Every structure is written in structure tokens, then in C-alpha cells.
């Protein structure tokens, strides 16, 4: 059998080496692409907005703290109770009736034991307890037994306690498809972040109320959690939000540093 041409062997080695290099390069490119995809996805998730109908309604109501009560007023300088709640949900893109007894029927009814932020809570007149004809007051539930309300003449818009006489046994949930206030955390944007920043400001933090959850807001959240014995995770869930609406200034507009 004749010996192979010596010139063929180097050529074959070069071809094998070339294909090996191409194979290794292909694997490296694929691994790099997979790593980029894996790291990009959490970033996209982290920068998502925290806007939701309930967050927008709460944010609007908090922005009116300190404004005067005026019967029949619907803003922007003064409000009565149902004028405030109507405008709050209007800011969230949800239309509800003008009058409190009509707002009672503007969504799903839930017992007070199942209240979530954003629910509408009602009281009847002292002399008339029939529902809905006797309803004379409505407020926006914030969580942790707190309401945002335009109470009555002589009292500015404020955060107040849920505990009161003549409370109707059920509340109304206008935003039935997205109940509650979503957790707010680092790198989110939107009305939920703005509401959190407003309450941080009311609790003495000095930060911009700009709807962007950046490092300064995160430090403020961690500081607030530490001061109130909460888990220091930097996430504004139900417990941290409940503390934010329970402490700090309850009536005046957010302080600007």
C-alpha cells in the first residue's frame, strides 16, 4: 500500500484545528448570549412600573392632605368626602358616581374584615342607619386601620382612624381586578412609588417625591424599617406601608427639603 502524501497530513491537521476553533468559538458565543439574557431579564423586571389603579387613587388622595373641606367641592383647592374619592379614582382611570351613597354601589362589596388599600369605607348619618339611603360619608382606606378623608367643615383633609361610630359593615372595591396596593421596591417607577415617597417625607425623610425608587429612596425605606422594628428588606409591603400611614404628619402637605 503506498504511503500517504506527506503534504496531506499538515493540511488535515490545519483543517481539524480550524474546525475545533470554530466549534469552541460557537460555544463561547452561545454561553455569552445566555448569560446576557439571564442578567437582562431581572433588570427588566426590576425597572417595571408600580403603577396600578389603587396606587394612583391613593397617591392622589395623599397629595390633597391639608386642603380644606368644603361641602359640594370636587377640587382642586378643596373637597367634600365624595368629591375626594371620586377625583382619586378618576385619577386612576376609574369613573365612580359623585355622591357617597351612589359610590356604595360602584364596585364589589367586601366585609370590613377583608379591607384592602383602595377600598371605599362608608358611614351612615346618626339619625338614619339604612343602607344606602342613610350613607352620609365615604373615605378611602389606606391600610393598617387608616383612612384618607375629607371629614367635615373645619377639618382639613387628613389621615384618620377607621374606628368610628355608624360604620357600614361592608366596603366597596371599585378596582376589583387589581385589589390592594402592590409591593413597591428598588428600581420601580410609578404612582405607588410616589405615594411611598410622600409618606417617607411625612415621616421626616428628606428625598425627592418623583416616583422613581432609586438608592436614596431605598436608604430612606431601610432607615424607616429599622426605626419601627420592621424587617429591613427595602421592600414596601403591607407591614411597612401600614407603618408609613400610621406615623408621621397626618394632615399637612408633604414637606419639601
Instruction: Spell out the domains of the chain, with CATH numbers in brackets.
Output: 53-173 (3.90.1720.10), 191-246 (1.10.101.10)
Instruction: For residues 145 and 210, give the distance between their C-alpha atoms in angstroms, rounded to a whole number.
Output: 27
d(CA 54, CA 146): 15
Q: What is the DSSP letter of 166?
A: T
Look at residue 176 in the predicted model and tell me its pLDDT: 78
CB 148 within 8 A of CB 139: yes
Alpha carbons within 13 A on the beta-carbon side of 215: 0
Q: What is the mean pLDDT of residues 196-223?
A: 97
- Residue 7 pLDDT > 60, yes or no? no
pLDDT at residue 177 is higher than 90: no
Three-state secondary structure call for residue 165: coil
Is-contact 143 117, C-beta < 8 A?
yes
pLDDT above 80 (res 164)? yes
Average pLDDT for the chain: 86
C-alpha cell of residue 87: 377625583
What is the reported pLDDT for 180? 85
pLDDT of 33 strictly over 60: no
**In which band, very low, low, confident or very high, does the pLDDT at 50 lie, cut at 50, 70 and 90?**
low
Q: In whole angstroms, give the CA distance from residue 98 to residue 43.
A: 42
**Exposure class string for 10-25: b at 16+ Cβ within 10 A, else e:** eeeeeeeeeeeeeeee
User: How large is the average pLDDT for residues 158-172?
Assistant: 96
The mean pLDDT value for 247-253 works out to 90
Contacts 24+ apart (CB under 8 A), 186-189: 186/46, 186/213, 186/214, 186/218, 186/234, 186/235, 187/43, 187/46, 187/47, 187/213, 187/214, 188/46, 188/47, 188/48, 188/49, 188/50, 188/213, 189/47, 189/49, 189/50, 189/51, 189/213
pLDDT in tens, 57-87: 999 999 999 999 999 999 999 999 999 999 9
Quote the pTM value: 0.80
Average pLDDT of span 106-135? 95
| Whole-number CA gyration radius for the chain | 28
pLDDT at residue 36 greater than cutoff 50: no
Q: Which of 38-52, 70-84, 103-117 has the lowest mean pLDDT?
A: 38-52
d(CA 52, CA 194): 12
Tell me the mean pLDDT in the region 142-152: 96
Residue 20 is predicted with a pLDDT of: 61
Q: Average pLDDT of 129-139?
A: 95
Amino acid at each position: 500500500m503506498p504511503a500517504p502524501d506527506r503534504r496531506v497530513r499538515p493540511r488535515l491537521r490545519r483543517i481539524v484545528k480550524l474546525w475545533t476553533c470554530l466549534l469552541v468559538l460557537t460555544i463561547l458565543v452561545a454561553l455569552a448570549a445566555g448569560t446576557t439574557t439571564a442578567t437582562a431579564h431581572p433588570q427588566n423586571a426590576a425597572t417595571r412600573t408600580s403603577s396600578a389603579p389603587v396606587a394612583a387613587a391613593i397617591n392622589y388622595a395623599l397629595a390633597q392632605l391639608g386642603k380644606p373641606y368644603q361641602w359640594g367641592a370636587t377640587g382642586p383647592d378643596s373637597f367634600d368626602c365624595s368629591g375626594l374619592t371620586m377625583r382619586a379614582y378618576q385619577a386612576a382611570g376609574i369613573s365612580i358616581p359623585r355622591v357617597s351613597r351612589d359610590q356604595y354601589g360602584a364596585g364589589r362589596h367586601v366585609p370590613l374584615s377583608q379591607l384592602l388599600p383602595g377600598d371605599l369605607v362608608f358611614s351612615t348619618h346618626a339619625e338614619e342607619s339604612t343602607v344606602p339611603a342613610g350613607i352620609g360619608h365615604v373615605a378611602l382606606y389606606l391600610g393598617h386601620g387608616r383612612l384618607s378623608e375629607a371629614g367635615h367643615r373645619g377639618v382639613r383633609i387628613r389621615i384618620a382612624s377607621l374606628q368610628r361610630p355608624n360604620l357600614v359593615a361592608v366596603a366597596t372595591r371599585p378596582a376589583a381586578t387589581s385589589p390592594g396596593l402592590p409591593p413597591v421596591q428598588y428600581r420601580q417607577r410609578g404612582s405607588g412609588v410616589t405615594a411611598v415617597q410622600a409618606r417617607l417625607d411625612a415621616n421626616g425623610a428628606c428625598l425627592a417625591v418623583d416616583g422613581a425608587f432609586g438608592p436614596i429612596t431605598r436608604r430612606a425605606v431601610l432607615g424607616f424599617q429599622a426605626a419601627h422594628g420592621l424587617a429591613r428588606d427595602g421592600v414596601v409591603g403591607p407591614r411597612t406601608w401600614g407603618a408609613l400611614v400610621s406615623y408621621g404628619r397626618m394632615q399637612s402637605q408633604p414637606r419639601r427639603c
